[in-house]
């Protein structure tokens, strides 16, 4: 893929700002566009189908209650794909920035694939707003079991992802899986386990929301990086507005240009290429090992 064409004046202006005394606190908001550069489907928009199922219809509590086997097959596929993917240079650049002790930095990721962690992002400076594919929790109301980092693949013999291809033209129904074929809680032994992600219709973790709010209240955010996301969904849009209203700057990293936004720096192209170029002055001196 060709290198993105970033106007020299845009890059120079951005570099001058991030190396100035006016840029001490940076907030990054990540979306699916960053992970798509690692080969992961976005499951939104035109890519919003897994086999012939609408992925959004599978990501709800009602769908899990109605057919937990189908939902688990979808999420087993996603877990398998995420484990097979590698963090890209964009993840790496942000991870390096998280270890720059001269910058007050926080990343809020809407992604659930764990790629930021695998790039060795500082865990104290990373909030998984929508949870994680690799967190498991019990659905039994009286059970508090939670496994924050389960990377077994497959979780059960019936959830082998090799047959769960991502093909929207495949109209073949998946086999019905009874509850005994699905992951069960090792603590209470009766409850089904579910993915520890935030489904449509569920509230975000107030712990994560509070951490984000506290960061924004305690600090004047000088720069917000909006990466691989449109920033139109709450709470993303509210964070961007807060930063702008406080006089902070915004830089957008996305595939398409927003012609209505004339105030932000816009880096158009593959995020895995534009991010390292844009953040180069802040990450050059940081030594960080990762899977890349």
**Comparing C-alpha atoms, which of 227, 224, 231 is closest to residue 272?**
227
Residue 98: is it exposed, middle or buried by C-beta count within 10 angstroms (0-12/13-18/19+)? buried
**Comparing C-alpha atoms, which of 279, 291, 265, 292 is closest to residue 99?**
279
Length of the chain, in residues? 292
Phi, psi of 226 (to 5 degrees): -105, 110
Q: Which residues contact 9 (CB under 8 A, 6 or more apart)?
A: none
88: number of Cβ within 10 Å: 23
3-class secondary-structure state, position 245: helix
Angle, helices 8-18/271-283, rounded to nearest 10 degrees: 40
Q: How many CA atoms lie within 13 A of 92 on its CB side?
A: 20
Residue 136: enclosing H or E segment and its boundaries?
strand 131-138
Tokens of 58: 């599978």
- 135 annotated as ligand-binding: no
Report the alpha-carbon distance of residue 245 to residue 248 in Å, rounded.
7
3-class secondary-structure state, position 8: helix
| Residues identified as active-site | 130
- Residue 162 vs residues 79, 80, 127, 159, 179: alpha-carbon distances, Å: 12, 9, 31, 9, 20
Strand partners, 249: 223
Q: Which residues are annotated as a binding site for Zn(2+)?
A: 138, 143, 185, 188
């Amino acid at each position: 893929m060709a290198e993105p064409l970033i106007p020299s004046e845009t890059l120079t202006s951005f570099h001058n700002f991030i190396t100035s005394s006016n840029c001490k606190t940076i907030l990054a908001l990540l979306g699916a566009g960053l992970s798509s550069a690692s080969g992961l489907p976005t499951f939104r928009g035109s890519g919003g189908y897994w086999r012939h199922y609408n992925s959004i219809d599978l990501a709800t509590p009602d769908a899990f209650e109605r057919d937990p086997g189908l939902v688990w097959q979808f999420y087993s596929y996603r877990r398998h794909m995420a484990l097979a993917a590698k963090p890209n240079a964009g993840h790496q650049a942000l991870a390096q920035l998280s270890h720059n002790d001269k910058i007050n930095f926080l990343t809020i990721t809407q992604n659930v694939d764990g790629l930021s962690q695998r790039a060795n992002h500082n865990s104290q400076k990373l909030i998984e707003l929508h949870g994680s594919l690799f967190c498991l929790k019990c659905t039994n109301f009286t059970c508090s079991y939670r496994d924050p980092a389960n990377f077994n693949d497959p979780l059960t013999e019936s959830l082998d992802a090799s047959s769960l291809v991502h093909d929207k033209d495949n109209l073949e129904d998946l086999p019905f899986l009874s509850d005994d074929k699905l992951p069960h809680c090792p603590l209470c032994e009766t409850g089904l386990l579910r993915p520890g992600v935030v489904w449509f219709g569920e509230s975000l973790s107030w712990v994560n929301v509070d951490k984000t709010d506290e960061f924004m209240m305690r600090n004047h955010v000088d720069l917000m990086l909006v990466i691989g996301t449109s920033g139109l969904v709450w709470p993303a849009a509210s964070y961007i507005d807060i930063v702008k209203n406080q006089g902070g700057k915004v830089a957008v990293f996305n595939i398409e240009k927003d012609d209505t936004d004339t105030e932000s720096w816009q880096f158009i192209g593959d995020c895995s290429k534009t991010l390292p170029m844009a953040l180069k002055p802040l990450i050059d001196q940081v030594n960080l090992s990762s899977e890349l």
